[in-house]
Amino acid sequence: MFLKLMDETLWTLLFLPLFLLCALVIFPQLPQLLKPLGRRGERQEEREGSLRPFQAAGTVLAATVGTGNIVGTAQAIAMGGPGAVFWMWIAAILGCAVKAGEIACGHRFGGAMQYIRALLGRIPAAFYAALALFSTLLVGNMAQVNASVLALDELRIFPPGWGRVFLCIVLGALAALCLCGGVRAVGRICAVFVPFMTLIYVLGALLFLNERHREILPALRSIVRGAFGAPAALGAASGLSMKQALLWGLRRGAFSNEAGLGSAANIHGCAGGSDPAKNALWGVFEVLVDTILLCTLSALVILCSGLEVPRGVLPGPELTKAAFAQAWGDRGASLFVGLALAFFGFSTVLGCYVTGQRCASWLGLEEKKFRLLYLFCCFMGGIVPLELIWNTADAANVWMATPNLLALILVFWGGLSGKREA
């Protein structure tokens, strides 16, 4: 109860004002930020990096396109009503500017820790790195494995009581195989894996919505009306207000696309190439795919299903599965959602490893030790209770975002965006 109250206070009084201020400072500079440095045909001096820009974008999408698109969207609707989806869209529009700004700075400075240190000092940078490392283990790893294991366990493929443990071992073993090649190997895998899994989920959601196409317009109306606390959209006794819709929309929007958290800055800080604008443009693309496309599809599936959404209860994957079951039956829905969560969750585990490894390295932790810790958390993720993970994840996201957003505000307000620290 205390952790939940602290989450709401932090998101309302700390994250929301900083995120809005950061977006308002960067947004007017977005056209200039996305403008290439050189003219067409001009050669710019290339900088070396562990990843190519496309591989960096694939890795960021792997880290962001995860269970937040399925579970997080369902939680936003359950806790904030349909109107939360509207505020997820607003968060995405503002997040495009924030993410483009942090990626451009990450590419120029070499990562989030570097520009935080340049603007705020070494202690805030170390504070950010420690929290980002913790958040990577919790949000990018344990929360993803938890949702994936819960969904796959409901398929009843494995003996009762052993399914979750066995699935944790399998996911951990697969992760170990992929991570043993380091950052470059993760980038190559994500560049191929992410477009494939995204396409499969989009096609599945569109097939469902095609069967329920008459419900799409009423669902969109409920989203817009619910965003401003209209009683007709939710029912007078729902107890859901505009504040809850706004709060949960922004919370789950930030959890989904990670704008303002600095993780994309760390990944694109590994990218080679000559022009930060190209990397920043990938950041806009990442937010649009993650929140505007995938989260909207998940929300429409739930709202068009005719399912009565339980209010004020933090759901897992069962809500999205129940929505798909309205058209495909329990078995078909369990199979599709279970595999989607497994793919999404596993890709996030791989993508977040890059951010975690960079933070661990900055703090002086050897990569082999961090990899063992990361794989251990991968196993534990399927065992720890769902609500504990998500509440702790929310608090961790706010604290790690704070120094990152403050540094970005100073960068673009103080005219230091062109400076790059070696």
The pTM assigned to this predicted structure is 0.85
Q: Which residues of 373-396 are buried (b: 16+ CB within 10 A; e: fewer)?
A: bbbebbbbbbebebeebbbbbbbb
| Percent over 90 (pLDDT), the chain | 29
Residues 133 and 360 sit within 8 Å (Cβ to Cβ): yes
What's the CA gap between 327 and 217, in Å, rounded?
Answer: 18
Amino acid identity, residue 211? E
What's the CA gap between 57 and 38, in Å, rounded?
Answer: 22
Give the pLDDT of residue 3: 56
What's the CA gap between 225 and 18, in Å, rounded?
Answer: 26
How many Cα atoms sit within 13 Å of 56 on the Cβ side?
29
* Each residue's pLDDT tens digit, 209-256: 999 999 999 999 999 988 886 643 444 334 456 778 888 888 777 767
Give the pLDDT of residue 232: 37
Q: CA separation (Å) from 39 to 36, 44, 273, 297, 350?
A: 7, 10, 15, 38, 36
Match 């209010």 to its residue by tokens: 311
Q: CA separation (Å) from 244 to 241, 250, 386?
A: 5, 10, 21
Residue ranges per structural domain of the chain: 52-409
pLDDT(7) > 70? no
Would you report the helix, strand and coil content of the chain in percent, each value rounded to 5? 80, 0, 20
DSSP-H helix ranges across 294-385: 296-304, 318-362, 367-380
As assigned by CATH, the class of the 52-409 domain is mainly alpha
Residues 274 and 45 sit within 8 Å (Cβ to Cβ): yes
pLDDT(149) > 90? no
* Each residue's pLDDT tens digit, 308-338: 888 877 777 788 989 999 989 988 988 898 8
pLDDT band at 116 (very low <50, low <70, confident <90, very high): very high
pLDDT(45) > 50? no
Give the pLDDT of residue 23: 92
Residues 6 or more apart whose Cβ sits within 8 Å of residue 70: 147, 298, 317, 320, 337, 340, 341, 344
What's the CA gap between 417 and 210, in Å, rounded?
Answer: 46
Is the Cα torsion angle 406, 66, 276, 51 positive or negative in sign?
positive
Give the pLDDT of residue 85: 94
* Each residue's pLDDT tens digit, 151-168: 777 777 766 656 677 778
| Percent over 70 (pLDDT), the chain | 85
pLDDT(345) > 70? yes
What's the CA gap between 215 and 71, in Å, rounded?
Answer: 21
Give the pLDDT of residue 237: 38
Amino acid identity, residue 111? G
Enter the tokens of residue 136: 């990577």
* Each residue's pLDDT tens digit, 251-304: 777 767 888 899 889 888 877 665 778 788 888 888 999 899 999 999 999 999
pLDDT band at 63 (very low <50, low <70, confident <90, very high): confident
Closest CA to 191 of 180, 178, 204, 201: 178
Average pLDDT, the chain: 82
Q: CA separation (Å) from 157 to 173, 369, 382?
A: 19, 34, 16
Report helix, strand or coil for 47.
strand
Closest CA to 51 of 200, 240, 190: 190
pLDDT band at 386 (very low <50, low <70, confident <90, very high): low
pLDDT(41) > 60? no
Give the pLDDT of residue 56: 79
* Each residue's pLDDT tens digit, 13-29: 888 889 989 999 998 88
Average pLDDT over residues 193-220: 92
What's the CA gap between 150 and 30, in Å, rounded?
Answer: 41
User: Residue 147: which H helix or E strand, with range?
Assistant: helix 143-153
pLDDT(421) > 50? no
Give the pLDDT of residue 128: 94
What's the CA gap between 108 and 379, in Å, rounded?
Answer: 36
Is the Cα torsion angle 62, 259, 405, 49 positive or negative in sign?
positive
**348 vs 12, more confident:** 348
pLDDT band at 39 (very low <50, low <70, confident <90, very high): very low
Closest CA to 408 of 120, 195, 43: 120
Is the Cα torsion angle 57, 59, 62, 63 positive or negative in sign?
negative
Give me the phi and psi of 311, to 5 degrees please.
Answer: -90, 140
Residues 89 and 292 sit within 8 Å (Cβ to Cβ): yes
Give the pLDDT of residue 269: 81
Q: What does the CA dihedral 86, 91, 96, 101 come to, rounded to 10 degrees? A: 170
Match 């949000």 to its residue by tokens: 139
Give the pLDDT of residue 302: 95
